[in-house]
Amino acid sequence: MLHQHLQPAGAMPAGLTSLALPAEIRAAIKAGAWIVFNVSGGKDSSAAMFAVSIVLDQLGHPRNRRLVIHADLGRAEWESTPAMVERLAALADLPLCVLRRNSGDLFDRWAQRFENGKRRYEALETYNLIGPWSSASLRFCTSEAKAHVIGPHLARTLRGETIINVLGIRRDESTARSKTPEWKADTRYASAGNAHGTRMMLWHPIVEWSTAEVFAAHVHLGIPLHEAYTCYSSSRLSCRFCVLQSIADARASASAPANRDALMHLCDLEARSTFSFQPARWLADTAPDLLPSDLQIRIAAAKIDAQHRREAEGAMPKGLRYVKGWPPRLPTMSEAAAIAEARAPILVRHQLANRFPTARAVRDRFADLIDQRRSA
């Protein structure tokens, strides 16, 4: 356990930045809420856990009502992350709970998404072919593999309790996080007024900290840092390769020998899918010298096919793009012909059956889908 000097309740030792401690969170702590530290192994969640622990001790919060939780993302995680999380939990002298998605890891989820997308495209259930990857606007990697795994588990195992999830989110991380509140009620997994009386809260205690203040906390409290920072100069710890990652961090990750298999796996999916890992950047371009020659050739072909796909889909009538999964109206025969023409080479590229090769077939399929929507 790291050595800590007790201060007046809510105060931080000299050299550490104060935490965001809103009245609602303080009251829940004083009432004996469960404190759950969501720890990824990265600098922010680690700093939040040890800084918050100081305040909890000052407030007299019982240590037997605290735990560390980690969502294991499988092959997507750095090889050293599980051991790092275990080390951090041991240093905090808290029990650790590791959870995993039942239906495979994040790599499986990306592959499943593309296979499902191809099936739906073949059936004309989608207007455009859907790629495998999550994105800034569609972060199912975070929701499905982390929040939707941790939340239901806590609601079930701590039923009837008040649960405070401590997250190391900071406002200066990104524009998207710049308006993060100090805390908020979380009714996703325990609805307001539920029969069991379970109450869940999200607390962002270091929301106002800068990156420098986070690293200062690591030094001041003796919190170890993940090898992503110390050995490979990454600015943040996430997955080995993240759809939100900077090119510098992607290159840092690629330079780690233990991450090479993951790099090859994801570049192979780029080649097969013809979708780049990030909207404007192919992961294969991160460290092209590491790719075997056959994969380099396949990536080059995938880039050409991706451009052809974008051009073909760009030529399709824009007013017929599906709305919430359904066609907005019937196409004219000329519009249907344009759709059939655009789809044909994409179907061939992905070895899918062309079940609607003519204007008439496309129009009939639209009519069928519209009927399904009306009867749903």
Q: What is the per-residue pLDDT for 341?
A: 98
Residue 99 and residue 122: Cα distance in Å, rounded?
A: 35
Q: What is the per-residue pLDDT for 292?
A: 98
Mean pLDDT, rounded, for 306-324: 96
Instruction: Give the residue with greater pLDDT, 77 vs 136.
Output: 77
- For the chain, domains (ranges, CATH) are 23-119+139-229 (3.40.50.620), 240-312 (no CATH), 315-375 (no CATH)
Give the strand order in the sheet containing 183-185: 96-100, 66-72, 34-38, 162-166, 199-203, 183-185
Alpha-carbon torsion 320, 363, 348, 270, what sign? positive
Query: Could you tell me if 355 and 124 are in contact, meaning their C-beta atoms sit under 8 angstroms apart?
Result: yes
Q: What is the per-residue pLDDT for 188?
A: 95
Angle separating helix axes 43-58 and 81-92, nearest 10 degrees: 10
99-136 confidence digits (pLDDT tens)? 998 889 999 999 999 999 999 999 999 999 999 999 88
Task: Tokens 């069928």: give the residue.
Answer: 368
| Predicted confidence (pLDDT) at residue 170 exceeds the cutoff of 80 | yes
| Predicted confidence (pLDDT) at residue 260 exceeds the cutoff of 70 | yes
263-287 confidence digits (pLDDT tens)? 999 999 999 999 999 999 999 999 9
pLDDT tier at 11 (50, 70, 90 boundaries)?
low
Q: What is the per-residue pLDDT for 342?
A: 97
